[in-house]
């Protein structure tokens, strides 16, 4: 099944009017947004909330304001699936500027020149060191908290604090282009949740004996969901409200389709009744599984305490 083409019977003509959830077919889906530079993830959430009339709207993982690209906006009961969607691998294209540093690690910070010149050969030799499991220090300008206060607020006050170091995974790191004169490189990165591309750029520059920062950053995919199927804020604004959360909107995915990476179990009538009451059912699945009937998602279940049974993780119906 193509994850970017949700079955029409999930959220088709039987969909409730946006803003009015139905017990029979609750609002549950993901809007693929192609975020523009300068827009925060919170701004994108507010936009979809305003356009749909729904209060229950969230995101599946933030993007920095300077970055563009794919942002998953979770609507209705899809907000319950954050913990399943957030760990999906992310794919980025980043333009790295060498020979300078930024206070924020990106183009929005204060830029200062740094001595040193990077060659294509030197860069190609260094990149393998930054693939696989690597250690990253959390940026000073990040939402990670120290003593209950976000680091970016402490940084703006001029306070120096110990920043935590985290292990992340860079699955692939490819050189897509290099301009020796401009001292810029274009890198394609596929990585785990929690990877800071700004920090990756800075660390690569340091390994090459100079400064570096992210001049441009675009998220091109989240798992198998592609930015090519996303809508810009302008495109979303131009759509009639009744079609925003239906298959008539190419950038909308039902929860069934958005959770494409989970195995599927079709339920019997007896199991449907048990699931509708949130009861455990017999099963040997070792991880989360989509439970459905005729292509409609009813719940996500997972291993329970009782051997031979699975229990509800997230209820939809």
- Residue 304 clears pLDDT 90, i.e. is over it: no
Fold adopted by 8-88+224-258: Alpha-Beta Plaits (3.30.70)
Domain 90-214: which CATH number of 3.40.50.720, 3.40.190.10, 3.30.2350.10, 2.40.40.20: 3.30.2350.10
Alpha carbons 298 and 295: distance in angstroms, whole number: 9
Taking only the tens place, the pLDDT of each residue in 201-260 is 999 999 999 999 999 999 999 999 999 999 999 999 999 999 999 999 999 999 999 999
| SS3 category, 178 | strand
Which segment of 131-145, 146-160, 183-197, 281-295 scores lowest on mean pLDDT? 146-160
Sheet holding 281-282, edge to edge: 264-266, 289-293, 296-303, 309-315, 281-282
Residue 179 appears among annotated catalytic residues:
no
Running DSSP on this structure, what letter comes out for residue 98? Answer: E
pLDDT digits (tens, 9 = 90+) for 72-101: 999 999 999 999 999 999 999 999 999 999
CB 196 within 8 A of CB 67: no
Domains 90-214 and 264-315 are alike in CATH topology: no
Catalytic residue among 34, 64, 106, 203: 64
Q: How far is it, in rounded angstroms, from Cα 105 to Cα 98?
A: 12
Closest CA to 239 of 250, 229, 227: 250
Q: Cβ of 218: how many Cβ atoms within 10 Å?
A: 18
pTM (predicted TM-score)? 0.86
pLDDT (0 to 100) of residue 13? 27
Per residue in 26-49, pLDDT (tens digit) is 689 999 999 999 999 999 999 999
Tokens representing 301? Answer: 């279940």
Domain coordinates in residue numbering, the chain: 8-88+224-258, 90-214, 264-315
SS3 of 137, please? strand
Residues 139-148 pLDDT 10s = 655 555 555 6
Does 264-315 carry CATH code 2.30.130.10?
Answer: yes
Looking up tokens 């790191």 gives 173
Given a cut of 80, is residue 317 above it in pLDDT? no
Q: Distances from the Cα of 122 to the Cαs of 58, 173, 175, 186, in angstroms?
A: 42, 15, 12, 15
pLDDT-above-90 percentage for the chain:
79
| Integer CA distances (angstroms), 85 to 43, 237, 313, in order | 20, 25, 14
For residue 29, give the 3-state DSSP assignment: strand
CA distances, 22 to each of 12, 17, 77 (Å): 14, 9, 11
- Which pLDDT does position 147 carry in this prediction? 54
């Amino acid at each position: 099944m193509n994850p970017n083409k949700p079955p029409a019977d999930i959220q088709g003509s039987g969909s409730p009017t946006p803003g009015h959830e139905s017990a029979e077919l609750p609002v549950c889906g993901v809007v693929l947004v192609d975020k523009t530079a300068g827009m925060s993830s919170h701004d994108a959430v507010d936009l979809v909330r305003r356009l749909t009339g729904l209060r229950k709207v969230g995101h599946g993982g933030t993007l920095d304001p300077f970055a563009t690209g794919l942002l998953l906006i979770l609507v209705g009961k899809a907000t319950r699936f954050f913990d399943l969607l957030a760990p999906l691998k992310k794919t980025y294209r980043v333009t790295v500027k060498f020979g300078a540093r930024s206070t924020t690690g990106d183009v929005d910070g204060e830029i200062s020149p740094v001595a040193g010149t990077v060659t294509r050969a030197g860069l190609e030799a260094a990149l393998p060191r930054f693939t696989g499991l690597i250690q990253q220090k959390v940026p000073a300008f990040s939402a990670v908290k120290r003593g209950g206060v976000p680091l970016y607020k402490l940084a703006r006050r001029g306070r120096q604090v110990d920043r935590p170091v985290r292990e992340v995974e860079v699955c692939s790191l490819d050189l897509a282009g290099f301009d020796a004169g401009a001292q810029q490189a274009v890198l394609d990165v596929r990585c785990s949740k929690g990877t800071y591309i700004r920090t990756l750029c800075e660390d690569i520059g340091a390994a090459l004996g100079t400064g570096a920062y992210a001049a441009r950053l675009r998220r091109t995919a989240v798992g198998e969901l592609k930015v090519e199927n996303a809508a810009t804020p302008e495109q979303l604004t131009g759509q009639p409200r009744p079609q925003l959360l239906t298959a008539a909107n190419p950038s909308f995915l039902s929860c069934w389709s958005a959770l494409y990476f989970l195995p599927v179990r079709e339920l019997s009538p007896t199991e449907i009744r048990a699931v509708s009451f949130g009861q455990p059912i017999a099963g040997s699945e070792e991880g989360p599984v989509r439970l459905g009937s005729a292509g409609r998602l009813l719940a996500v279940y997972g291993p329970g305490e009782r051997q031979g049974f699975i229990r509800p993780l997230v209820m939809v119906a």
